[in-house]
Amino acid sequence: MSSRPRFRALEDIVEEELRRIQEASATPVPSLTTAEEADLSGVLWDYCRTEDKFPVFTNLSEARLTEIRQYMQPFLERHRRRGPPPKISVNDSLILLLYLYKTGADFETTATHMRYKASTLRAAVERIRPVLNETLVSKWWSERRRPRPFEGPYPYIALALDGTTIPCYRPTGPFHEAKHYWSAHHGLYGVNYEVAVLASAPHYCLFVQPGVPGSVHDYTRLKETYTAYLDYLTKTTTEQTMIESDGENASWAVVCDLAYVGPAEDTPGFRKITGKKGALTAADRQRNQELARIRVVVEQFFGRANNLWACIRRTYKWDHTNIDMDVTNCFLLTNEHIKGKSLDTSDSDFYLQEQEARLKHHEEKVGRKRASYAKSKAAKRRRIGA
């Protein structure tokens, strides 16, 4: 029997996700052995190869996904267990995990479409998720791409840093415990992630800090995480001579938005550049605009990641035990996508539109609650008067 009907339901979900988005808006690859090539199989993998469906299910080309799969091999060996082979092959597990990232679908629905038990699909995802994470972290962060100067008044800026909030359901329990996940800035419950993107092209994600409750302010977060960047920002002997006008500084700089304005004593050794607040002169406004043009790349990165992976754009519905790993995987998979298509203004536009839509939804919800409360109070006053 043809496998097309089996996968048609998955394709329909992907097409629906693309419709919603439209409405809302070189390391050498190790060679494989014969045994490893034999493992490059799977019903879904073969279907994607035959029908050219890799981008539809995973947002990545066959060549890009095959490269990732090849890099995974030593990590698969590390996680290999004794016993019978799993019911879902490694290749199909990888495609299904990326499909879940792309659509944000739940395990039960996807398992039904694939004619698997939900427990079988969940076991496949649990098995492949840490392998993919170790693969991507090793590939992108074992030796992070070094900064390089770019044209403009601030060629010594290496990273653009900002925070983004992943929506989540309201935590169960008392309100005084759940409220820590409420982000007033975004109008939702969520988990906040601090991300640093390479300021010079191609603007890869180089750092993702573990998530914290949405109520934690970005600056408070930076005071705890800034030491993670110090080694990377320290200039090498060669880099100290790259920018003649910046030769006296031993480290590269990081550009941040106005939420990170604060005394240098809070982050000793961390070279931070931010705009100015308060009464501004013409020179101050021009400087803020210059920094905003450099910092926009981190918003473009968030826009690309949100566009690609619905699991971090929508409410995160899976077990929060794995949320840090899933978010990191999505950001590093975005790096893989950027290798084929550079960031542009449409990505930042998409991100800003998403933020505005969330705030609008929250304001409308608050407005409805206030109107309902006022209506009930008026009705009560009428009953008392009668």
What pLDDT does 2 receive?
56
Domain end, chosen from 116, 141, 166, is at 141
What pLDDT does 176 receive?
79
Exposure of 313 by Cβ count < 10 A (0-12 exposed, 13-18 middle, 19+ buried)? buried
Residue 384 domain flag: no
What pLDDT does 6 receive?
64
Instruction: Answer yes or no: do 115 and 89 share one domain.
Output: yes
What pLDDT does 4 receive?
60
Segments forming the whole domain that contains residue 137:
4-141
Residue 283 domain flag: yes
pLDDT < 50 regions, the chain? 1, 24-40
Q: What is the DSSP letter of 33?
A: P
Do residues 139 and 328 touch, judged by C-beta distance below 8 A? no
Do residues 290 and 153 touch, judged by C-beta distance below 8 A? yes
Residues 6+ apart with CB under 8 A from 109: none
Residue 380 domain flag: no
Instruction: Answer yes or no: do 169 and 68 share one domain.
Output: no
What pLDDT does 23 receive?
58
Do residues 273 and 154 touch, judged by C-beta distance below 8 A? yes
Do residues 297 and 313 touch, judged by C-beta distance below 8 A? no
Instruction: Answer yes or no: do 127 and 26 share one domain.
Output: yes
Residue 361 domain flag: no
Q: Going along the chain, which residue ranges are E strands?
A: 157-167, 182-183, 188-198, 205-208, 212-213, 253-255, 272-273
Residue 76 domain flag: yes
Number of domains in the chain: 2
Instruction: Answer yes or no: do 86 and 47 share one domain.
Output: yes
Instruction: Answer yes or no: do 241 and 133 share one domain.
Output: no
What pLDDT does 179 receive?
86
Instruction: Answer yes or no: do 136 and 161 share one domain.
Output: no
What pLDDT does 21 receive?
57
Do residues 193 and 163 touch, judged by C-beta distance below 8 A? yes
Instruction: Answer yes or no: do 172 and 70 share one domain.
Output: no
Residue 342 domain flag: yes
What pLDDT does 32 receive?
39
Residues 6+ apart with CB under 8 A from 236: 146
Tokens 């050794």 identify what position?
Answer: 269
Instruction: Answer yes or no: do 338 and 251 share one domain.
Output: yes
Do residues 307 and 338 touch, judged by C-beta distance below 8 A? no
Percent helix / strand / coil, the chain, rounded to 5: 60, 10, 30
Instruction: Answer yes or no: do 73 and 190 share one domain.
Output: no
Rg (CA), the chain: 24
| Entry pTM | 0.85
Beta bridge partners of 79: none
Do residues 151 and 187 touch, judged by C-beta distance below 8 A? no
Do residues 374 and 380 touch, judged by C-beta distance below 8 A? no
Do residues 348 and 355 touch, judged by C-beta distance below 8 A? no
What pLDDT does 37 receive?
40
Instruction: Answer yes or no: do 163 and 192 share one domain.
Output: yes
Residue 383 domain flag: no
- Tell me the DSSP string of 46-89: HHHHHHT-HHHHHSS-HHHHHHHHHHHHHHHHHH--SSSPPSS-
Do residues 165 and 186 touch, judged by C-beta distance below 8 A? yes
Instruction: Answer yes or no: do 170 and 282 share one domain.
Output: yes
What pLDDT does 18 receive?
65
Backbone dihedral region of 171: left (phi > 0), alpha (psi from -120 to 50 degrees) or beta? beta
Residue 376 domain flag: no
Instruction: Answer yes or no: do 163 and 306 share one domain.
Output: yes
Exposure of 109 by Cβ count < 10 A (0-12 exposed, 13-18 middle, 19+ buried)? middle
